[in-house]
Structure 1
Amino acid sequence: MDHFLYRDGELYAEDVSVRDIARSVGTPFYCYSTATLTRHFTLFDQALDGMDHLVCYAMKANSNQAVLRLMASLGAGVDVVSGGEYARARAAGFDGDKIVFSGVGKTREEMRAALSGGIRQFNLESEPEMHRLNAVALELGVVAPVTVRVNPDVDAKTHEKIATGKSENKFGIPIARAREVYAEIAKLPGLRVVGIDVHIGSQLTDLEPFRQAYRKVADLTRALRSDGHEIIRLDLGGGLGIPYERTNTAPPLPVEYGAMVREELGDLGCEIEIEPGRLIAGNAGILVTEVVYVKHGEGRDFLIVDAAMNDLVRPAMYSAHHDIVPVIEATAGAEQTPYDVVGPVCETGDTFAKQRNLPALAEGDLVAFRSAGAYGAVMASEYNTRPLIPEVLVRDDQFAVIRERPSYEQIIARDIVPDWL
C-alpha cells in the first residue's frame, strides 16, 4: 500500500496535488510520502513484536537526511556500508549503538571513524578484514563488537546482480568455515563476538530461500555456542521484495516474514536484527517527469520524457520494471497506446519501458514512475551534465524540497582547471 492515489481525476501524494508540486519545483523530481515510509517501517517493527529485535533501515536504498531523520524518530537502527553513510547516519541523529556497519571493503579510515564515533557492530566479511579491524581497535584502545557474515550458498532466486548468498558471490565467509573463523576471532583481543550475520540478496519474492538460510544459521548458532562463543544477536539482513508490477501475485508481507523468523529462530533466545531498505522506501516514492515529445517512429511510437537513465538507472541496469501512470487520470475505458518510454540521454540504454500500454499522451503531460523511492535518487548521476533532480517529501497537505536541483554553474564550478591550462 502507498499514499499516491487519484483524487478528482489527478494524482495526489497524500493530500498534495502532484501537479502542484511540479509547478513549484519543475520536472523531473522524486516525491516521497511520509505516511508510507512510516507505515512500512511500522509493519516490520510489528512483525517482530514479542521478540527482542531492532529494525535497522538499510540506508543504501534512500539516504536523504530527511528520510533518515524520520527513521531515527521512529526508533529505527540503521545499516551502513561506507564511511559516507556512517557520517550521514550520525548527522541524521542515529546513536552509535544503533548503527550496523556492513560491506566487503571497509577501510582503516572507515573503521577508525566508526570506532571513535560509536558503533553497534561490524559485520565482518573476510579474514583480512577481521585482522585489520583488530589492529585498528588495538591502536585506539577499544574492543570492536563483531558478527561474521556467513555465506550459506542459498539461491535467493532474484536478479543475478542483487543475489548475495551464493558461493560464487563476493560476500561473506563460507558457512562451512565459520567455526574455524570464530575460533580465530576469539584469539584477537581487539574483537568481541556478539552474533552472526547473513544476507542472501535483494527483491526476494518467496520466503523459502530465507527459511533455508535461517535454518543453517540456527544450526551454526548452536554449534558456536557449544564451542564456547556467546551468540546473543542474529543479523538476518534484508531483501524482502516489493510489488513493482500491479499483478494478482505479491511478495510475502512483513507479518508473514516475521512469523517465519519466529518458527526458525525463535527458540534461540537471540536478539533479531533485520535490515529492510527497499520495502520501506520503494513504494514510498515516485519519479515525476514531463513528456517532451511524442515521436512517431518506424512501427512504434516513442514517449520522450525529461527524466533519463541518470535519474533512474534501474531499468537500464537491471531491466527493472516500474509502473508508469499519467498524473491526470485517464477516463474509464480510454484506449491504450503502446509506447517506448525513453529519456534524452544519448544511449539506447536510456529506455524505461518498451511497448508499454498507456493512455494517449501529448507533449507537456506529466507521468509518474511508481515504486521509485528505493535505489532511485541514491544511484543517480550527472551524466550528460544533467543536474541531480530535486527530492520532495510530503506530509499530509504540505511538502518540502529535501534536495534542490543544482544549477549548471554549480555543477561546472566543482571542476578545477589547473593554472597551467
Structure 2
Amino acid sequence: MDHFLYRDGVLHAEDVPLPEIAAAAGTPFYVYSTATLTRHFRLFDEALAGMDHLVCYAMKANSNLAVLRVLADLGAGMDVVSGGEYRRARAVGVPGDRIVFSGVGKTRAEMRLALEGGIRQFNVESEPELLALSDVASGLGLTAPIALRVNPDVDARTHAKIATGKSENKFGIPIARAREVYAEAAALPGIEVVGIDVHIGSQLTDLAPFEAAYTKVADLTAALRADGHDIRRLDLGGGLGIPYARDNSAPPLPLEYGEVIRRTVGHLGCEVEIEPGRLIAGNAGLLVSEVIYRKVGEGRDFLILDAAMNDLIRPAMYDAWHDIVPVAEPAPGAERGPVDVVGPVCESGDTFAVQRDLPHMVAGDLVAFRSAGAYGAVMSSEYNSRPLIPEILVKDEQFAVIRARPSFDEMLKRDTIPEWL
C-alpha cells in the first residue's frame, strides 16, 4: 500500500496534488510520502515483534537526510556501505550502536571513522578485510565487533545484477570455510566475534531462498557455538521485493518473511537484525515528469519526457519495469494505445518503456513513475550536464524541498580550469 491516490481527478501525494508541487519545484522531481515510509518500517518491526531484533534500514536505497530522519525517529537502525553513508546516518542523530557497516571494500579510513565514531558491528566480507580491521582497531586501542558475512551459495532467483548469495558472486566468505575463518578472527587482536551475517540478493519475490539460506545459518550457528564462539547476533540481510507492476502478483508480506525467520532461527536465542531498503522506500516515492513532445514515428509513437536515464537509471541498467500513469486521471473508457516512453538523452538506452499501453497524452501533461523511491535519486547523475532533480517530502497537506535542483552556475563552479590553459 502507498499514499499516492487519485482524488478529484488528480493524483495526490498524501493530501498534496502533484501539479501543486510541479508548479513550485518544476519538473522532473522525486516525491516521497512520510506516511508510506512510516507504514513500511512498522510492518517489518511488527513482523519481528516478540523477538530481540533491530530493523536496520539499508540506506543505499534512498539516503536523503530527511528520509533518514523519518526512519531514525521511528527507531530504525541503519545499514551503511560507505563512509559517506555512515556520516549521513550520524548527521540525522542515529547513534553508532544502531549502525551496521556492510560492504565488500571498506577502506582503512572508513574503518577508523566508524571505530572512532561508534559502530554496532562490521559485517566483514573477506580475510584481507578482517586483517586490516584488526590492524586498525588494535592501533587505536579499540575493539571492533564483527559478524562474518557468509556466502551460502543459494540462488535468490532474482536479476543477475542484484544476486549476491551464489558462489560466483563477489560477496562474503564461502560458508564451507566459515569455521576456519571464525577461528582466525577469534585469535586476532582488536576483534570481537558477535555474530553471523548473510545477504543473498535484492528484489526477492519468493521466500524459499530465504528459508534455505537461514537454515544454513542456523546450522552454522550451532557449529560455531560448539567451537566456542559466542554467536549472539544474526544479521539476515534484506532483499524482500516490491510489486513494481500493479498487475503482477504481490510479493510475500513482511509478516510472512518474519515467520520464515522465526521458523529457521527463532530457537537460537539470538538477536536478529534485518536490512530492508527497497520495501521501505520503493513504493514510498514517485518520479514526476512532463511530456515535452508526442512524436509520431514510423509504426510507433513516442512520448518524450523531461526526465531521463540520468534521473532514473533502473530501466536502462536492469530492464526494470515501473508503472507509468498520467497525473490527470483518465476518464472511464478514455483512448489508450501503445507508446514508447523515452527521455531526451542522446542514448538509445534512454528508454523507460517500450510499447506500453497508456492513455493518450500530449505535450504539457504530467506523468508519474510509481515505485521510484528506492534506487532512483541515489543512482542519479548529471550526465549530459543535466542538473540533479529536486526531491520533495510530503506529510499530510505539507510538502518541502529536501534536495534542491542545483543551478547551472553551481554546476559549472565545481569544475576548475588550470591556470596554464
TM range (shorter): over 0.9
1:358-373 residue pairs with structure 2 within 5 A? 358-373=358-373
Counterpart CA distance in 1 for 2:255 and 2:344 is 42
Query: How do 1:7-406 residues align onto structure 2 when only pairs under 5 Å count?
Result: 7-406=7-406
The one-letter code of the counterpart of 2:72 is: A
Cα distance in 2 between the residues matched to 1:283 and 1:53: 24
Unaligned runs of 5+ residues in structure 2 are none
Distance in 1, matches of 2:101 and 2:320, equals 28
**Distance (whole Å) between structure 2 residues aligned to residue 387 and residue 92 of structure 1:** 25
Q: AA paired with 2:175?
A: I
Query: Percent identical across equivalent pairs?
Result: 76
* SS of 1:218 mapped into structure 2: helix
* 2: CA distance, partners of 1:247 / 1:170: 34
- Quote the Cα distance in structure 1 between the aligned partners of 2:417 and 2:217: 54
Q: SS at 2:349's partner residue? A: coil
1:138-166: CA deviation from partner (whole Å, max 9, x where unpaired): 11000100000000000000000000000
Distance in 2 between the 1:106 and 1:379 partners?
Answer: 20
The one-character-per-residue Cα deviations of 1:336-394 (angstroms, maximum 9, x if unpaired) are 11110000000000000000011110100000000000000000000000000000000
Q: Which residue of 2 aligns with 1:2?
A: 2
Instruction: After TM superposition, give the deviation of residue 335 of structure 1 in Å.
Output: 1.9
Gaps of 5+ in 1: none
CA RMSD of aligned residues (A): 0.4
Distance 1:328 1:211 in 2: 43
Shift of 1:248: 4.8
Which residue identity lines up with residue 388 of structure 1 in the other structure? L
Q: How far apart are 1:107 and its partner, in Å?
A: 0.3
SS at match of 2:210: helix
- Distance in 2 separating the partners of 1:132 and 1:92: 29
Amino acid at match of 1:243: P
Q: Normalized against structure 2, the TM-score is what?
A: 1.00
1:414 — aligned with what?
414
What is the CA-CA distance between 1:247 and the residue it aligns to?
Answer: 1.9
1:199-222 per-residue CA deviation (whole Å, 9 max, x = no partner) reads 000000000000000000000000
Which amino acid in 1 is paired with 2:368?
Answer: A
- Read off the aligned partner of 2:105 and give its amino acid letter: G
> Which of structure 1's runs of 4+ aligned residues deviate more than 4 A?
none
Distance between the aligned counterparts of 2:155 and 2:11, measured in 1?
A: 39
SS in 1 for 2:288: strand
Instruction: State the 1:56 CA deviation.
Output: 0.1
Task: Please identify, of 241-250 and 117-126, the stretch whose mean Cα deviation from structure 2 is larger.
Answer: 241-250
- Which AA in structure 1 matches 2:247? T
Query: Alignment partner of 2:289: what SS?
Result: strand
Deviation at 1:334, TM superposition (A): 1.2
Q: Alignment partner of 1:61: what SS?
A: coil
Provide the secondary structure at the position in 2 that maps to 1:199.
Answer: coil
The amino acid across from 1:311 in the alignment is D
Query: Partner amino acid for 2:303?
Result: L
Counterpart of 2:355, as a letter, is Q
Amino acid of the structure 2 residue aligned with 1:192: E
